[in-house]
């Protein structure tokens, strides 16, 4: 453990304690830093304060932490498909098979590694601060599509609140097995975890889960659906698609046709800008691989 001493600058006036720590220790997880404050490992002018404490210039902050944990935000130069970026946030089109954040097994090649490089190394920041990619939602490794990531604490709080209050509109495209007969419909079945199988599925007594769908195009043996998850349960779109007898192509664990990728794509994301309050909508078209999936499997 290292004991670090910090002095609050004039331009950090009224900054929350947690935001100061996030800015100064960009390679450490927010959960870890909050836990240090909660567990009495951080003092402000010799007193224990909560994470929301508003700082003043020349406040003296002491914190005891483990800097060896600073690896989850390790910068790595990787290509990014950027749809929009300003001082508050960035919107990207995530490729399939890219993890959003490092895990105990995979510590590189993730979206956070790429964003850490893009925000800091590429920009050549030299003031000692780090721009932290602030996750407010996630896409599974196999799911491609539009994501928004906060660049400031203010943007992170605003976007997180929008997701929690369901102000954000999310739409997905899914290539599913079989011909979906109804042009529109919904799946309203609870989802829960089966401990013995270590997997999530439709489960009596599980948490409510609702997915709306609309047919975009029918092929000989598959259907392109537009999906709207009204709730946000784990693996909801894959589970609900399989539950109605139309598993997503590539989702072999739930009976889907074998393919090089999961044919699930987040194609539209709408939200309010955290500062300007402007309504923003970003879209990414149908991936070329969906068409390859149709033709390669003789599904046209």
| Better-predicted residue by pLDDT, 153 or 222 | 222
Average pLDDT in the 142-146 region? 97
| Catalytic option among 140, 183, 188, 258 | 140
Q: Which of 9, 12, 22 is nearest to 156 (CA)?
A: 22
pLDDT (mean) for 180-185? 97
Domain 82-155 architecture: 2-Layer Sandwich (3.30)
251 is catalytic: no
For domain 169-296, which CATH number applies: 3.40.190.10, 3.40.50.720, 3.30.2350.10, 1.10.10.10?
3.30.2350.10
3-class DSSP state of 210:
strand
**Half-sphere exposure of 146 toward its Cβ, with a 13 Å CA cutoff?**
23
**Beta strand spans in the chain (E):** 2-7, 42-44, 60-65, 82-85, 89-94, 134-135, 144-150, 169-177, 184-188, 191-194, 199-202, 210-218, 222-229, 264-272, 279-283
* Percent of the chain with pLDDT strictly greater than 90: 65
What's the whole-number average pLDDT of the chain?
89
Residue 28 reports pLDDT greater than 90: no
Q: What is the pLDDT of residue 128?
A: 54
In the chain, CATH 3.30.2350.10 sits at: 82-155, 169-296
* pLDDT at residue 11, as a whole number: 86
pLDDT score, position 74 = 78
Higher pLDDT pick, 74 / 139? 139
The residues of the chain that CATH labels 3.10.290.10 are 2-69
pLDDT at 70 over 80: no
Res 187: pLDDT: 97
Any idea which architecture 2-69 has in CATH? Roll (3.10)
Q: What integer is the mean pLDDT of 39-64?
A: 92
Residue 223 CA to residue 179 CA, distance in Å, equals 6
DSSP 223-277: EEEEEEESS--TTHHHHHHHHTT-PBTT-GGGTPPP-SS--EEEEEEEEE-TTT-
The model's pLDDT over 234-275, given as tens digits with 9 standing for 90+, comes to: 899 999 999 999 999 999 999 999 999 999 999 999 999 999
């Amino acid at each position: 453990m290292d004991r670090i001493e910090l002095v609050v600058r004039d331009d950090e006036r009224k900054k929350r304690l947690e935001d100061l720590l996030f800015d100064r220790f960009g390679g450490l997880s927010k959960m870890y830093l909050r836990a240090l404050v909660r567990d009495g490992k951080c003092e402000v002018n010799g007193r224990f304060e909560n994470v929301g404490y508003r700082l003043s210039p020349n406040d003296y902050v002491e914190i005891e932490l483990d800097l060896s944990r600073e690896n989850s935000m390790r910068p790595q130069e990787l290509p990014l498909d950027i749809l929009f970026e300003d001082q508050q946030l960035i919107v990207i089109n995530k490729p399939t098979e890219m993890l959003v954040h490092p895990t105990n097994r995979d510590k590189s090649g993730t979206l956070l590694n790429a964003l850490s490089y893009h925000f800091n190394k590429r920009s050549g920041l030299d003031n000692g601060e780090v721009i932290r990619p602030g996750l407010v939602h996630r896409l599974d490794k196999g799911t491609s599509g539009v994501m928004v990531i906060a660049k400031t604490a203010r943007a992170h709080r605003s976007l997180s609140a929008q997701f929690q209050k369901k102000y954000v509109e999310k739409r997905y495209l899914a290539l599913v097995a079989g011909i979906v007969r109804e042009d529109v419909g919904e799946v309203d079945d609870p989802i829960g975890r089966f401990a013995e199988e270590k997997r999530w599925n439709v489960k009596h007594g599980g948490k409510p889960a609702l997915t709306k769908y609309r047919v975009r195009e029918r092929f000989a043996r598959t259907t392109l659906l537009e999906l709207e998850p009204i709730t946000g349960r784990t693996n909801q779109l894959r589970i609900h698609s399989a539950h109605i007898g139309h598993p997503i192509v590539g989702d072999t664990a739930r009976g889907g046709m074998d393919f090089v990728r999961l044919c699930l794509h987040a194609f539209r994301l709408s939200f309010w800008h955290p500062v300007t309050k402007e309504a923003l909508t970003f879209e990414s078209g149908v991936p070329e691989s969906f068409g390859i999936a149709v033709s390669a499997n003789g599904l046209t």
